[in-house]
Structure 1
Amino acid sequence: TLLPSSSEVVLVTMISQAKANLWLLWLAATSGNVLGSCVNYWLGTHVLRFKHKNWFPVSAKGLEKAQSQFKKYGVYSLLFAWLP
């Protein structure tokens, strides 16, 4: 994301007020980030099996465009994937 979300604000607030053990805060934040990355990776590897469902958020044309850009530019096409 472009701006920090509420979880980072809560983490900084808790660190600045020393209301919890710093190592526990670090462990919770790191575990959450790693788990979120794992979930996103899993979703990315399994999402195409749902492309024929009515609720699938990307059109066939949009999916084809994204796949052709990835084939053309490879992993460099993901450089700005975090932008909205």
Structure 2
Amino acid sequence: MFLAAMLAATILPFSSEVVLAGLLTIGMMPSLLLLYASIGNILGAIINYLLGYRFGKSIALSVLRMSPKQFARSQTIFERWGKWSLILCWVPVIGDPLTLLSGVLRINKVFFVCVVSIVKTLRYAAIIYWLT
């Protein structure tokens, strides 16, 4: 579960929900799954942040295949809504680029980890609640 959640939070195209559902189906403890999924997903987001911090625009353009115009637009939106847009880092498709942009824009690391930890844990808690 940890690895699936970590991969799902990076810029790699991967989904952890299927793994989570399968593990719940075979009877694994929901509390342990929540712990492993949350820690893995938070670590994946931190990896994105570090990639953005170190390689920034080149990762967005080459790996995410964003055009320079899309990158500039994303950056403008992120700067307009500010660091609180990180609350949406749990949303599929837009969440990974948000965590990458956080690194590019040098969002405060402590703030980043706190927000990401809260919303990603709440997301997995909601999924587990819904599936059980």
Q: CA deviation at 1:74?
A: 0.3
Asked if the contact 1:69–1:77 (Cα under 8 Å) also holds between the matched residues in 2, the reply is no
User: 1:9 is matched with which residue?
Assistant: 21
Moved over 2 A (4+): 25-47, 76-81
The 8 Å contact of residues 60 and 71 in structure 2, kept in 1 or not, is answered as: no
**1:68 and 2:76 equivalent?**
yes
Contact 1:70–1:77 under 8 Å retained in 2: yes
Identical pairs, percent? 27
Q: Deviations over 1:53-82 (max 9, x none)?
A: 7x3411111111111122222023344342
Change beyond 3 A, Cα 1:8–1:52:
closer
Matched, 1:35 2:43: yes
Cα 1:4–1:32 shift into 2, 3 Å: closer
Query: Aligned in 2, Cα 1:6/1:49: closer, same or farther, shift over 3 Å?
Result: same
What is the DSSP-based 3-state SS (H/G/I as helix, E as strand, rest coil) of the residue aligned with 2:66? coil
How far apart in 1 are the matches of 2:17 and 2:50?
22
Number of residue equivalences: 76
**TM-score (structure 1 length as normaliser):** 0.55
More helix as a share of residues? 2
Corresponding position of 2:4: none
* AA aligned opposite 2:85: S
Structure 1 or 2, whichever has the larger Rg, is 1
Report the residue type matching 1:5 in the other structure.
Answer: E
Counterpart Cα distance in 2 of 1:40 and 1:52? 11
Q: CA RMSD in A?
A: 3.6
